[in-house]
Structure 1
Amino acid sequence: MGLLDTLKAKLAPAKDKVSGLAKEHGDKIDQGLDKVAKTVDEKTKGKYSDKIQTGTGKAKDALDRIAKDEGTPPSPGAGGTPPSPGSGGTPPSPPAG
């Protein structure tokens, strides 16, 4: 087992815990981000409003991704278990029309 695999294995429980907390307290975190953004915007007298809003949006998107990631199995090739032989990989696309 390589160093990266060992590190992933040790961090997996923390990732699950963070995901659960993000899901449970996401609304409070969103409110906190908005409050901080407003305070920083006021302190900078609106000079960096666009950058503050962009950063706040990205932080909220990341929070949403973390909250939705709970219990999601890792994708093959990302350190997870490869698909079993004969599993066919991805399902076929539905016929057009």
Structure 2
Amino acid sequence: MSMMDKLKQMLRGHESQAEQGIDKAGDYVDGKTQGKYSGQVDTAQEKLREQLRRDQGNPPPPPRS
């Protein structure tokens, strides 16, 4: 099982907290870079939110043998 699959399983059921974490991480990066990369940070945040929404409701993949 890949690391991404493990993360998806851990986040399942905690989507709202994950979205808050995405916002908090973006705000942190913006603060550290003094807003220099805010456009790129916003794009990354949106892509992460889209991925999170796309993965909602999907059953976990079967374990690999």
* TM-score normalized by the length of structure 2: 0.72
**What is the CA-CA distance between 1:67 and the residue it aligns to?**
1.1
Structure 1 runs (4+) deviating above 4 angstroms are none
- SS of the aligned residue for 1:47 comes to coil
Bigger Rg, structure 1 or 2? 1
Higher RCO structure, 1 or 2 (CA under 8 Å, sep 6+): 2
The 3 A distance-change label for structure 1 pair 42 and 58 is same
Structure richer in helix, relative to its length: 2
Q: In percent, how many aligned pairs have the same letter? A: 35
* TM-score normalized by the length of structure 1: 0.50
Matched, 1:68 2:57: yes
Unaligned runs of 5+ residues in structure 1 are: 1-9, 72-97
CA RMSD of aligned residues (A): 2.4
The count of residues paired between Structure 1 and Structure 2 equals 57
